[in-house]
Structure 1
Amino acid sequence: MIPGQISIIIVSYNSAALLPACFASLAMTNDDNYQLIVVDNASSDGSAELVRQQYPHVQLIANQHNQGFGAACNQGMAAATGEYFLLFNPDVQITPNWLTLLRQHLATNPQAAIICPTTLYPNQALPTRQGVAITAAVPGCAMLLRRSAWQAIGGFDPAIFLYWEDTELCWRAWLLGWQVLEDFEALVVHERGGSGGGQRWLVESSKNGLYCYLKLRPWSAVLGYSLRMLAKTAIVSLRQRNLAMLNIWLWHGRNLKQTLATRRAIQAQITADRSEVEGLIKQHLARGKQERRASQKSKVKSQKAETE
């Protein structure tokens, strides 16, 4: 381990068009004490070859098969030399002092395992708040993780191929006695939507959401979420005449024994005030719902303006 160093880990999947701008953006940071690692998940667009040939200073891990986002991050963290791990999406653009601020704020909050900058849409107004605040979870697009926390709580759950892996890690960190912070001064711009979408997104996200509830939430929350997922399965299956949503329940039927064993193991390690963590999770979920509604209204308004 190199004290103070940040290992920036980028998971690439058919990201050849994004990587040059990503590396150029990272070069703008005013903090140069970092290591760059790219974990390529068997891209078919030449992403690995691009890194190998044009960016020899970047450490490349080229997978022969797509391992999923979380497992690829785990590979990068296992190979990293830094005291901190920065998990970074290739479609994120940085601001010059973001890394310095993240490092400073994590250093002054020793109980925090994870901190994330404020992620803005292009042309979005800057936040008015300053400093940092605790939150139940942060997105994995630019997540800074303390090595000692990674060693204590483990990395991403390899059972989650894509979607919810960042939320699961944050919830688990809270339950095991750590904190998660959002940073209102460190800023990045995230285009979003660089990977995933469609029917695959819906099935994978719904499956993993139920998995996280089964693994980490109280049984009352599990019951409520399960009923909502059953209703969603029925509605989507009937409206779209597509039975793909049934795969959610088939997967959980096959893996329920292992999921419950994992739940019991985590329950035995919990050191946090469970009610406090649940309060943070409920606040975060409510905030996310409000933000999605606001985003949807903004899209509708924008579409109406374009047609007028």
Structure 2
Amino acid sequence: MITHDRREELLRTLEHMTALPERAPVIVVDNASGDGSAEAVRARFPEVTVLVEPVNAGAVARNHAVRCATTPYVTFCDDDVRWQPGAIRTAVDLLDRHPDIGAVMGRCLVEPDLVEDPLTPELRDSPVPAPPWLPGTALLSVMAGLTTVRVSAFHAAGGFSERLWLGGEEELLAIDLVRAGWWLCWAEEVVVHHRPSGRRDSRGRRRLGIRNTLLTTWARRPLGAALRRSASVLAGCPKDRHTVAAVGGVLRALPWLLRERRCVPPELEAQLRLLEEPQRTSVARRYVG
């Protein structure tokens, strides 16, 4: 679990997570909070392992937590996300039974009304071809806070990118996992609740989301697909300073892109193309915040 300056939400989430029947060991990475989060966790939950980052490392803090884990699988959990009783066990059982699955993503219900997250229909109806044995739909990306991952696959794929930091950071890792031969699976019976934090910087997250979508696209897609996807993303964005800042972030990352760019093989590119229309018309993926 990664956190930054959301002590009360973090403590409420830990109250829930440490009481789950699975009794899974919990690792919290405090991303340089200034509100005493780490001290509060140590005082109230001495059984929880607490790591403290000297600066806000974003999603990369998850890499540090995974390196400390001693289990074959790791469940990611944000400080405003609560895995429901039995959900972690179900995800682990799926990974145990299917050694070709690299990660299992759960179904998200949004509190307080427990309505399905707007992204759920896309996941349930994923057009990605799947083998008959896969216990759910096949994915080409995940939402980290709803996902249990195989540690060996995570390490082999390099974990989360320092360049992307946070905000849509999962897509690059997911593509690299699939490219390495792992399946990513959405499992309806794995249920996770999400109460979106009121402390989110929605415009900052939008800027990062646009930037990271474009960076991932140019890092892994061939030229024609990268141009098409970029045009589609930018056409749906507000024409404001946050979108301009996102594009500026991509331009500043050009040296990284030149080093990192490795186009996916044709069969994976064909699968990514199947997602372009659902992504273009997606309500959940609109950058309007």
**TM-score normalised to the size of structure 1?**
0.78
Tell me the equivalent position of 2:106.
117
Is the 8 Å Cα contact of residues 131 and 185 (structure 1) preserved in structure 2? no
**CA distance in structure 2 between the partners assigned to 1:100 and 1:226 by the alignment:** 39
Q: Which moved more, 1:283-292 or 1:207-216?
A: 283-292
Secondary structure at the aligned position of 1:292 is classed as coil
The residue identity in structure 2 corresponding to 1:274 is: P
Q: CA deviation at 1:292?
A: 1.6
SS in 1 for 2:205: helix
The CA deviation at 1:166 is 1.2
1:93-128 Cα deviation digits (max 9, x unpaired):
222111110001111221111111111123346899
How far is 1:37 from its partner? Answer: 0.6
Aligned counterparts, 1:24-35, within 5 A:
24-32=15-23, 34-35=24-25
| Equivalent in the alignment of 1:89 | 78
**Map of 1:142 onto structure 2:** 146
Query: Contact 2:229/2:276 (CA < 8 Å) preserved in 1?
Result: no
Cα displacement (A) at 1:147: 1.3
Amino acid at match of 2:61: A
Q: Is the Cα–Cα contact under 8 Å of residues 92 and 189 in structure 1 kept in the other structure? A: yes
List gaps (5 residues or longer) in structure 2: 125-133
| Amino acid of the structure 1 residue aligned with 2:225 | A
Correspondence list, 1:233-252, <5 A: 236-237=239-240, 242=241, 244-252=242-250
Structure-2 residue corresponding to 1:45: 35
Q: Relative to 1, partners in 2 of residues 1:44 and 1:176: Cα closer, same or farther, differing over 3 Å? A: same
- In structure 1, give the amino acid aligned to 2:145: C
Q: Is the 8 A contact 2:60 2:161 kept in 1?
A: yes
Q: Output the CA distance in 2 between the equivalents of 1:198 and 1:65.
A: 21
Deviation at 1:30, TM superposition (A): 2.3
| TM-score of the two chains, using structure 2 as the length reference | 0.83
Cα gap change, 1:140 to 1:248, in 2 (>3 Å)? same
**Is the contact made by 1:92 and 1:188 (CA closer than 8 Å) also made in structure 2?**
yes
Q: Deviations over 1:226-248 (max 9, x none)?
A: 33455567x613xxxx4x43333
State the percentage of identical aligned residues: 23
Does the 8 Å CA contact 1:22/1:91 hold for their aligned counterparts?
yes
Return 47-56 or 186-195, whichever deviates more.
186-195
Residues 22 and 263 from structure 1, CA distance in 2 versus in 1: closer, same or farther, beyond 3 angstroms?
A: same
Q: 1:216 aligns with which of 211, 220, 226?
A: 220
Instruction: Give the alignment's Cα RMSD to 1 decimal.
Output: 2.9
- Aligned counterpart, 1:188: 192
Aligned AA (1:134):
A
Change (3 A) 1:293 1:38: closer
What SS does the corresponding residue of 1:60 show, helix, strand or coil? strand
Does the CA-based 8 Å contact 1:22-1:92 persist in structure 2? yes
Q: Structure 2 vs 1, CA of residues 184 and 279 (structure 1 numbering), >3 Å: closer, same or farther?
A: farther
The answer to whether the 8 Å contact 1:105/1:132 transfers is: no
Residue correspondence of structure 1 range 168-183 to structure 2 within 5 A: 168-183=172-187
Q: Provide the C-alpha distance between the structure 2 equivalents of 1:285 and 1:187, rounded to a whole number of angstroms.
A: 27
Count matched residues.
Answer: 272
1:186 is paired with a residue whose SS is strand
Note if contact 1:30-1:96 (Cα within 8 Å) is conserved in structure 2. Answer: yes
- Aligned pairs for 1:70-89 (under 5 A) are 70-89=59-78
- Match of residue 255 from structure 1: 253
Identify the residue that residue 266 of structure 2 maps to in structure 1.
Answer: 274
Residue of structure 2 in register with 1:304 after alignment: none
Distance in 2 (alpha carbons) for counterparts of 1:229 and 1:182: 24
Provide closer, same or farther for how the CA distance between residues 209 and 95 of structure 1 changes in structure 2, counting only shifts above 3 A.
same
Q: Residue 225 of structure 1: CA displacement?
A: 2.9
Paired with 2:210 and 2:284, the residues of 1 have a C-alpha distance of 19
Name the residue aligned to 1:23. 14
Describe the superposition over 1:17-38 as per-residue Cα deviations: whole angstroms up to 9, x where unpaired: 1122212222342222x22111
Match of 1:166 among 147, 167, 170: 170
When Rg is computed on C-alpha atoms for both structures, the one with the higher figure is 1
Amino acid at match of 1:168: L
2:69, 2:158 → 1: CA distance? 15
